[in-house]
Structure formats: C-alpha cells, structure tokens
C-alpha cells in the first residue's frame, strides 16, 4: 500500500477515536467502556500476533514490560479519555491527545540519560506548554474545573500517560509489537474490568444495532486498525514518518466532530494546536544549537 495512503488511514483511524468515544460514553459509563474496549480488542490482537509469525517465549523481563505498559498505554488512557469526552467536544479531545509527543519530549529529557535536556528541548517544551494552555483556555475560563474544564483535565491525563509509556518502552528490551499489544490489552482488561464493576456497577444497555455499531467502530476502526496501519507505516517508511499520523490526527478529529456532531471550536484552540505541533516538530537553527548553547546543565 502506498505510504501516503497508510499515513492517511492511520491518522483517520486515530482521529475517529475521540468522536467514537464521545458517542459510546453516552451509553456506557467510562470505566465500563474502557473495559469493553480492551476486552474486545484483546482477541483480535491475539489472532494478529499469531498470524504475524512465531513468537518468542515471554520471560520475566517481557512480562514486566507488558504489565507496566498495559497500565500506562491501555488502562489509564482508555479510562481518562472516556471520562473526559463526557464534557468536551470530540475535536478538542483530538487536539489534546496530540500533545503526546510534547509530553514524551519532556519526560525523555528527565528520565532518559541518552536524551539529556538541551536548550532546544527547553524552548520547545515551553512553547508546547503555552500551546496546551491555549487549547484548554476556553474550557477553563468558561467554568474552571467544572464540566468542560474537568473534561479537559481528564483528557490530558491520556497523552501524559501514553508518553510515560513511550519513555518506559525506550528503557526496555524490544518485543514483537503485536505480542506486546496483546499483553498490554490483557493487562488493561484485568485491571480495568474489576474497577468498572466497583465504580459503575451493573450496566444495563439495550444492544441496539446502533450501539453495537459504534462500539465495534471504536474497537476495530479507531483502536486496532490504526495501530496496524501505523505499524505497517513504520516498517515501510520509518518511525519518523509514522509519527506524522499523530499531527494529522487532530485535523481528522475536528472534521469528524464537525460533520457528525456539528461541533465548532474557538479559534484559540487552533492557535494552541499549532504551537503544540510546532514545539513537537520544529528545530532551532544549527548556529543556535551549536556550542555551549546546545546543552542545559
């Protein structure tokens, strides 16, 4: 498949996630929705892992990688994103999730010895934080930490947790990606499902064709499929090219929210998104990064 098509499909799948979460959370409480998302995605990932070839036997190191990764990349983001999307437009949810590379940059500078903080990183992080503030400002100024403000804060937990997962994986031995994903979804299911029973209790939902369709869409089209496309993109064009999907994702999220939910977002949020993307991708001129200015002690 041509690289541009893979990139678009990957970004579109990730971009559909906030809308489908927002639609599903109208029928399922956040903890239950997160549990269903991980539990229904798990068998698909097991099948995909089996079809991808022989798998190396997991040892204690791999299990620890998957357990911590499952909490940081599946359990926490699935729950916090579902909780946040109760209160904010899906397009804004996509914008907030696009802050993940910025959080990864900041956490890597703190926790990875081979990626120490530089002047460039500090300036990019400051610009990115300003961008996040501009995205969140309309909701926070409109009601503090009530309703939209609370939704913004809860949603930001998702990219922060995912970024922490990225830094965790950077410190660990590499694993076959589909086996790792299956292990993480198993951890997500085992950790979230009991808590869903505690916090949400017994949930009664009429399994109408519409409810089943949006739930299947969230699991297949907005969770499993974009990860497959992104994996194929990494193999075909490299990790840096695949990372572009994260910056195209909020555009699709905004478009989907406008088309299917008639959402309109303040101009300030788009300015903030531009700052976040610029902070995640832009580089300082070589002359400014050279010499003693290039490193912060």
Lowest mean pLDDT among 56-70, 123-137, 156-170, 216-230: 123-137
Task: Supply the pLDDT for residue 214.
Answer: 96
* For residues 134-154, average pLDDT: 73
pLDDT in tens, 1-36: 778 888 889 989 999 999 999 999 999 999 999 999
Q: What percent of the chain has pLDDT over 70?
A: 88
Going from the C-alpha of 181 to that of each of 112, 129, 197, 228, 268, the distances in angstroms are 23, 30, 24, 11, 36
Task: Supply the pLDDT for residue 141.
Answer: 67
Task: Supply the pLDDT for residue 297.
Answer: 42
pLDDT over threshold 50, residue 234: yes
Task: Determine the structural domain holding residue 26 and report its residue range.
Answer: 3-294
Lowest mean pLDDT among 10-24, 35-49, 127-141, 210-224: 127-141
Which candidate, 97, 113, 145, 151, places its Cα nearest to that of 280? 97
Do residues 269 and 92 touch, judged by C-beta distance below 8 A? yes
Instruction: Note the maximum CA span of the chain.
Output: 65
Count of domains for the chain: 1
The C-alpha atoms of residue 290 and residue 285 are separated, in whole angstroms, by 9
pLDDT in tens, 169-199: 888 888 888 899 999 999 999 999 999 999 9
Which candidate, 176, 179, 151, 183, places its Cα nearest to that of 72? 183
């Amino acid at each position: 498949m041509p690289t541009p098509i893979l990139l678009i499909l990957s970004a579109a799948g990730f971009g559909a996630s906030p809308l489908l979460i927002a639609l599903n959370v109208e029928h399922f409480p956040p903890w239950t929705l997160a549990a269903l998302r991980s539990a229904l995605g798990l068998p698909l990932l097991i099948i995909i892992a089996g079809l991808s070839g022989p798998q190396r036997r997991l040892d204690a190191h791999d299990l620890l990688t998957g357990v911590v990764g499952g909490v940081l990349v599946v359990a926490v983001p699935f729950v916090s994103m579902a909780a946040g999307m109760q209160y904010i437009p899906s397009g804004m949810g996509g914008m907030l999730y696009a802050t993940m590379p910025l959080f990864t940059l900041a956490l890597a500078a703190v926790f990875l010895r081979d990626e120490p903080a530089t002047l460039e990183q500090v300036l990019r992080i400051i610009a990115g934080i300003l961008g996040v503030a501009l995205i969140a400002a309309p909701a926070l100024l409109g009601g503090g930490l009530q309703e939209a403000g609370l939704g913004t804060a809860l949603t930001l937990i998702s990219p922060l947790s995912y970024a922490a997962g990225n830094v965790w994986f950077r410190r660990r031995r590499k694993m076959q990606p589909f086996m790792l994903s299956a292990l993480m979804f198993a951890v997500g299911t085992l950790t979230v499902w009991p808590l869903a029973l505690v916090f949400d209790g017994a949930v009664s939902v009429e399994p109408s064709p519409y409810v089943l369709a949006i739930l299947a869409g969230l699991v297949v089209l907005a969770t499993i499929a974009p990860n497959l496309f992104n994996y194929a993109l990494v193999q075909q064009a490299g990790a840096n090219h695949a990372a572009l999907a994260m910056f195209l994702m909020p555009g699709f999220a905004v478009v989907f929210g406008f088309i299917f939910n008639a959402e309109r977002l303040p101009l300030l949020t788009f300015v903030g998104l531009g700052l976040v993307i610029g902070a995640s991708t832009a580089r300082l001129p070589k002359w400014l990064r050279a010499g003693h200015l290039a490193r912060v002690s």
